[in-house]
Structure 1
Amino acid sequence: MSQVVLITGASSGIGKSIAEFLVTKGFTVYGTSRSPKVSSDNGVQFLALDVTKEETVSAAVDQILKAEGRIDILINNAGKGITGPLEEIPEEELKSIFETNYFGPLRVIKAVLPMMRKQKNGLVINVTSIAGYMGLPYRSAYSATKGALSLTTEALRMELKEFNIKLTNVAPGDFATNIASGRYHAPLLEDSPYAKNYGKSLSLMDEHVDHGEDPQKMGEAVYAIINTKEPEVHYKVGAFMQKISVFLKGVLPGKMYERLLLNHYKL
């Protein structure tokens, strides 16, 4: 019997690549988006789910359980980006990014845990970000949401160990997707004191995405994690320099690492 996978944010980008790759490996895959345009695509069955609305989360999980009787793997991938000088990002946008990137995944986890406990097994993979390991200029809120999810996963792993439910983080670097089009960008204002440096950083961020890795690598990485008996706490997927940056954060003095980031972003 094939394992049943629920993956949020599966209509495009990394989520779509992961979902379709798992279909080719024989998994029964349910993908979600806020407003699915089709009921199935390339073997992925689509359901409506908005991670910021608990009623849609419960409805989607209930629908899968009625059809399949189980959920073996949850991949929390739904999320959005946000950029801007923190001073100029409206408070409602800061709250919104946490609702989607942090509280959203927690809602879905809470919805599947009762069934996973009943099954006495389950796997939750939270898609975080290499940006969650460090505070990045003009991406402060995004880094904060992904860092918070990563730390919460560390704690939840220990809480759920007795139920044979495994959790892990997989942190992608920059991938060639359409994520930039869905970001909230604080307006680049000509009279802003941040105009020069924010403008440079925006251009650099978009360039990194345009020249990013093939998203299928995330599908391969997730498949490898699923087939690991005891998954690690953290996985990183992306270009060598992005992965090594996490290592350097742990070994370099704080100010030295900060200088590396300032030089990278030409600030």
Structure 2
Amino acid sequence: MSKVILITGGSSGIGKSTGEFLVKKGYKVYGTSRNPEKLIEFDIFPLLKLDVSNPASITAAVEEILKKEGRIDVLVNNAGVGITGPIEETPHEEILKAFNTNFNGPLNVIKAVLPHMRTQNSGLVINITSIAAYMGLPYRGIYSATKAALEVTTEALRMETKDFGVKFTNVAPGDFATNIASGRYHAPVLNDSPYKLPYGKTLEMMNEHVDGGDDPQMVAGLIYRIINTKNPKIHYKVGAFMQKFSIVLKRILPDKAYERLLLNHYKL
């Protein structure tokens, strides 16, 4: 019997690539979008209406899958938003929105599927985080914080659910060629801001990294391998060598030495 897989944020980027890859491997995939009615030509796999910041829409989507399939075997918590800006100048409502989508949202989806996985005595939750979760990046500090919170919460969930046949893991991508930059909230570069020059330069660099990122099929392939792994690891990193190696450097270098590396990288 084909495993039933739910991918949040499945209409583009990593979610779309992963769903397409898994469909070709014979899995039954359901993706989600906040506005699937605007994607009438999307026919790779079914897209359900789901907004991770709206618990009622999560419940409705999960119940629809269970009604059709009777089970959910894998949840790929992929939906997320980017946010950039000097923390001092980032509107607090935008900070709350980012946490609501990147942290509260995945938790709400987990809470919706976990009772069913527990009843099945089987299930796998893959939380898509970011290499940015492992370090506080300048002008991306809020994004780093949202993803770091999800990484650590996953560690706790693994231990809390170990007796129920449910497994949890994190996948932390580096820069991939997706449309996250177009949907990202950018705090404006203000002419009278003390952060104008450094933030403006950093913002340009961040957008270049995403535009020149790797093919998201690399993430899709890793997720496929995780699904077929008996005992997934706690953390997986995927991306360019130096992006992954930056996490190793943070472990072994003194804090201030690592901070200097980041400052030099961003030319700050």
**TM-score bin, normalised by smaller chain:** over 0.9
Question: TM-score, normalization: structure 1?
Answer: 0.99
1:30/1:40 CA distance change after superposition, 3 Å: farther
Provide the rounded CA distance (Å) in 2 between the counterparts of 1:39 and 1:222: 27
SS at match of 2:126: strand
Moved over 2 A (4+): 37-43
Over the matched positions of the two proteins, sequence identity in percent amounts to: 67
What residue is the counterpart of 2:26 in the other structure? Answer: 26
Contact 1:22 1:223 in 2 (8 A): yes
Equivalent AA in structure 1 for residue 92 of structure 2: E
Provide the rounded CA distance (Å) in 2 between the counterparts of 1:182 and 1:95: 16
Contact 1:39 1:45 in 2 (8 A): no
What residue is the counterpart of 1:128 in the other structure? Answer: 129
What residue is the counterpart of 1:43 in the other structure? Answer: 44
Equivalent positions of 1:54-65 (< 5 A) are 54-65=55-66
What residue is the counterpart of 2:254 in the other structure? Answer: 253
Does residue 154 in structure 1 map to residue 143 in structure 2? no
What residue is the counterpart of 1:13 in the other structure? Answer: 13
Equivalent AA in structure 2 for residue 245 of structure 1: S
SS at match of 1:170: strand
SS at match of 2:161: helix
What residue is the counterpart of 1:4 in the other structure? Answer: 4
Equivalent AA in structure 1 for residue 16 of structure 2: K
Long gaps (5+) in structure 2: none
Contact 1:39 1:46 in 2 (8 A): no
Equivalent positions of 1:184-199 (< 5 A) are 184-199=185-200
The number of residues matched between the two structures is: 267
Provide the rounded CA distance (Å) in 2 between the counterparts of 1:182 and 1:168: 26
Provide the rounded CA distance (Å) in 1 between the counterparts of 2:73 and 2:40: 21
Provide the rounded CA distance (Å) in 1 between the counterparts of 2:251 and 2:4: 37
SS at match of 1:47: strand
Provide the rounded CA distance (Å) in 2 between the counterparts of 1:44 and 1:160: 30
What residue is the counterpart of 1:139 in the other structure? Answer: 140
SS at match of 1:247: helix
Provide the rounded CA distance (Å) in 2 between the counterparts of 1:124 and 1:49: 17
Shift of 1:40: 7.8
Shift of 1:178: 1.1
Question: TM-score, normalization: structure 2?
Answer: 0.98
Equivalent AA in structure 2 for residue 179 of structure 1: I
What residue is the counterpart of 1:233 in the other structure? Answer: 234
SS at match of 2:132: helix
Provide the rounded CA distance (Å) in 1 between the counterparts of 2:103 and 2:261: 28
What's the C-alpha RMSD, in Å, of the aligned pairs? Answer: 0.9
1:27-51 Cα shifts (integer Å, max 9, x gaps): 0000001011346834311100000
Long gaps (5+) in structure 1: none
SS at match of 2:48: strand
1:39/1:45 CA distance change after superposition, 3 Å: farther
Provide the rounded CA distance (Å) in 2 between the counterparts of 1:184 and 1:177: 15
Does residue 118 in structure 1 map to residue 97 in structure 2? no
